[in-house]
Amino acid sequence: MNPDTGSDAKKSQIPQSAYMKNLSSESVDAQVVQMQQSGASRVEANSIEATDSFLGEVHTQNATIKRGFTGYLHTDQIASEQGIAGVVTTNDAVIHGTSGVMVAQSVRMTESRSGVIVAREIHGAKVKTVFLLSTRVDAPVETVVDTRSIALFGAAAGLVFGIITGLFRWLRYRR
């Protein structure tokens, strides 16, 4: 604690903005971060705007990603256009791209793909996902795993397990 200013010295050293073009950094910590054709392993910011960039781990209030890749993103709001995100945890998401795991309060997806979506409500058009868990869906969703698929998979797995177990028992008692 700095006795003159009454605040932490680390907080006073955080720059107001950071602009990166064709650069890479291990860590970026600023109030506003703008990246163009750049990369960062870790980003801490109030707001980030990234175009054609790679981001490893991002913690922010507001994120706008265009044609970028993000490994892990924790934010209040995200707008992603033609981006790829590994894991996203957010309150409000507007996605036109691909995400591995999406955990959100509200998701608006247009012609998007996701591995897993866990959201309170989903809106949009042409949402493709493997698993979907939501209380309200106002979008045409194409899921790979639905109730019928799970039932067929369970029946097939049980049948295969039964045949293999029976075969091993038969071979063991035959000797």
Do residues 99 and 108 lie in contact, with contact meaning Cβ atoms separated by under 8 Å?
no
Q: Which amino acid is at 135?
A: T
- pLDDT on residue 147: 62
Do residues 173 and 159 lie in contact, with contact meaning Cβ atoms separated by under 8 Å?
no
Residue 21 has pLDDT above 90, yes or no: yes
pLDDT, tens digit, for every residue of 38-91?
999 999 999 999 999 999 999 999 999 999 999 999 999 999 999 999 999 999
Burial of 47 (0-12, 13-18, 19+ CB in 10 A): middle
